[in-house]
Each structure stands twice: as C-alpha cells, then as structure tokens.
C-alpha cells in the first residue's frame, strides 16, 4: 500500500471502500486492516465523512465476525461429542477422549 501522506482523500476513500466490500468475501481480517490503516486519517478535520463511515463499518463488521466465530467455537467445543456423527463430520482432527 502507498504511504497515506501521498494519497488524496478521494484515493483513500476508494481504497477504504474496496477493503470494506472485500471484507464481505469472508475476509474479516481485511476489515481490521482497513480500520487500523485509515483510523488516523479518518479523524482529520478535512477528511470526508464517508471515509470515517467505511472505517467504522469495517470495525463493526470485524467485531461481529469475531463474536460469531468465538460463539461458534464455544458451542462446537462444548457440544461436539453430543452431536454424534455430525460432530465427527465437522471435525478435521478428531480428538481422543470423550
């Protein structure tokens, strides 16, 4: 990525928008990168409102993905053995024990 000091706000907006929509392709890490990369620039007084909007929507998407994946992991780890064959089908490596 180019240095942010050399980009205009319009160019930043285009990049941020692409990164935001790219996150919908099951790439929540891209949303996190978008937030970290453009956070400082979005808070400048001359920054366009849309840039700030995409930055915060990326953060929200990343947080929602984190919550969803963490919840799924917790449910899966605690209930896998009671799911029987389905639990084994979803498992790549079947742990030994119960």
Domain boundaries defined on the chain: 4-90
d(C-alpha 80, C-alpha 52), whole Å: 41
Query: For 68, which DSSP code?
Result: H
Query: For 6, which DSSP code?
Result: G
pLDDT, tens digit, 9 for 90 and up, residues 33-89: 999 999 999 999 999 999 999 999 999 999 999 999 999 999 998 998 898 888 878
């Amino acid at each position: 990525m180019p240095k942010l000091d050399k980009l205009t706000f319009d160019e930043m907006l285009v990049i941020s928008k692409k990164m935001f929509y790219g996150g919908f392709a099951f790439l929540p890490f891209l949303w996190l990168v978008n937030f970290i990369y453009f956070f400082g620039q979005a808070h400048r007084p001359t920054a366009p409102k849309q840039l700030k909007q995409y930055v915060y929507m990326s953060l929200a998407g990343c947080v929602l993905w984190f919550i969803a994946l963490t919840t799924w992991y917790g449910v899966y780890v605690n209930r896998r053995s009671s799911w029987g064959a389905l639990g084994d089908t979803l498992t790549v490596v079947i742990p030994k024990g119960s």
